[in-house]
Amino acid sequence: MVTVRPFKALRPKKEVAEKVAAPPYDVLNRDEAYELAKDNPYSFLHVNKPEIDLPPDTNPYDEAVYKKGAENLQRLIQEGVLQQDDTPRFYVYKQVMGQHQQVGLVACASVEEYEKDIIKKHELTRQEKEDDRVNHMLHLNAQVGPVFLTYRAKAEINRLIEQAMQKEPEYDFTSEDGVRHTVWVVDDEELIRKIQDAFKAVDVLYVADGHHRSAAAMRVKQMKQQQNPHHTGDEEYNYFLTVIFPHDQMQILDYNRVVKDLNGLTEEAFLEKIKEKFDVEPMPEGKQFKPDRPHTFGMYLNGRWYKLTAKPSTFNPDDPVSRLDVSILQENVLTPILGITDPRKDKRIDFVGGIRGLAELEKRVDSGEWAVAFALFPTSIEDLMAIADAGKIMPPKSTWFEPKLKSGLFVHLLD
């Protein structure tokens, strides 16, 4: 049984929502965020990427950054740009990206259910990034970046969400990347109750994206609970901000790899080692290869694409982690041939979201800064859920979800 809770969102006035809405804090570097927000005082990047309002050499983890974020949030409230709803509500958030569309419920999820693994994880977190989100939440006393959750789709929930979308939307705009964002406010108490009841039939939720934010929300809850002698379990800090999508609407793109060098091997020796574990097919000159099924890979080396097909002996088909393409590449190429044993920390590897296309891989290698690129077939949402259900962990950078959730449309205050 899953708990979803309505909340009094702090959110933009209707006429400025498009100016406020901003990319998530972790998909832009400081300079990109600065350029995007420099002429827009309403941009939520001033809150979720506040280092853009400090000197360029400021450490992003400096306390001054978190204080600036809190100051900027208060400015938007005082100027009336952000206003808090007077009663707890749900919100329905629809995104349309090309031919793909997904509709999620904006709600608060239970930290206790996260602690009890009713909300399942599939990634490890990094201490530094987790500490960053803890400090951000504590200084703002708010959660500003929704965690992206999913669940096995249920017809009854779909029906109720469709019902909520019959009224006039509160927000409806297309962002600079061409994605359309539409939001409905659910303030009908009977519909709110029906949605809550319908989610009680959901066994588990899965963290799709936002492992650091959800882990940080747990730590903040535990800290506030210890500091509150009158803790009841009903305080806002016991819940965290989420957007919850049915699994069959999720879109996962490929998450590709580029490597700096061939680990001392000549191109010929490298290809011979690859052939021990893969069937290798050179593509005609100038022709790309984008994997169209699991266990096939595109490799770009010295101006040419190759199709690699993993031999059956290279993975265990019964193990949900071993059979992932990211695992097959790691265990058969990156570690034994290229010497990259810890992709989280090794500076010789970088990760390129599939939204950038194969041309970005070619550009990186053709620049001479990178020696070889690998294009992967996207991980499926079924694989993600199977791994989480088994209590296992995916390799780093296994999934790239699109479209991204905008920040700034919903803020969950912890008071």
Please state the rounded mean pLDDT for residues 49-78. 97
pLDDT grade for 124, boundaries at 50, 70 and 90 = confident
Distance CA 236, CA 155 (A): 30
- In the predicted model, what is the mean pLDDT of residues 337-355? 93
127-180 residue pLDDT tens: 999 999 999 999 999 999 999 999 999 999 999 999 999 999 999 999 999 999
Q: What is the pLDDT of residue 126?
A: 85
Residue 282 has pLDDT above 90, yes or no: yes
Distance between CA atoms of residues 66 and 179, nearest Å: 29
pLDDT at 345 over 90: no
How far apart (Å, rounded) are the C-alpha atoms in residues 145 and 407? 6
**For the segment 390-402, what is each residue's pLDDT rounded down to a tens digit?**
999 998 889 999 9
Closest CA to 44 of 9, 18, 64: 18
* Three-state secondary structure call for residue 160: helix
For 172, list phi and psi in degrees, rounded to 5.
Answer: -160, 105
Cβ atoms 97, 178 nearer than 8 A: yes
CB 298 within 8 A of CB 374: yes
Q: How far is CA 373 from CA 120, 252, 274, 368, in A?
A: 32, 20, 13, 12
Q: How many of the other CB atoms lie within 10 Å of CB of 88? A: 15
Query: pLDDT tens digits for 359-373?
Result: 999 999 999 999 999
Q: What proportions of the chain, in percent to the nearest 5, are helix, strand and coil?
A: 35, 25, 40
Cis peptide before 403 (omega within 30 of 0): yes
CB-CB contact of 343 with 231 (8 Å): no
Is residue 245's pLDDT more than 90? yes
In single-letter form, the type of residue at position 79 comes to E
CA 387 – CA 146 distance, rounded (Å): 23
Buried b (16+ CB within 10 A) or exposed e, 207-240: bbbbbbbbbbbbbbbeebeeeeeeeeeeebbbbb
Rounded Cα–Cα distance for residues 289 and 309 (Å): 12
* Backbone phi and psi for residue 197, each to the nearest 5 degrees, phi listed first: -65, -40
Maximum pairwise Cα distance, the chain: 70
Cβ burial of 168 (10 Å; 0-12, 13-18, 19+) is exposed
Q: Give the whole-angstrom CA distance, residue 19 versus residue 408.
A: 10
Question: Per-residue confidence at 344, pLDDT binned at 50, 70, 90?
Answer: confident
Q: What is the pTM for the complete model shown? A: 0.92
Whole-angstrom distance, CA of residue 237 vs CA of residue 223 = 10
E strand or H helix that includes residue 101: strand 100-110
User: Domains in the chain and their CATH numbers?
Assistant: 4-248+402-413 (no CATH), 255-377 (3.30.1760)
Mean pLDDT (the chain) is 96
pLDDT digits over 165-222, tens only?
A: 999 999 999 999 999 999 999 999 999 999 999 999 999 999 999 999 999 999 999 9
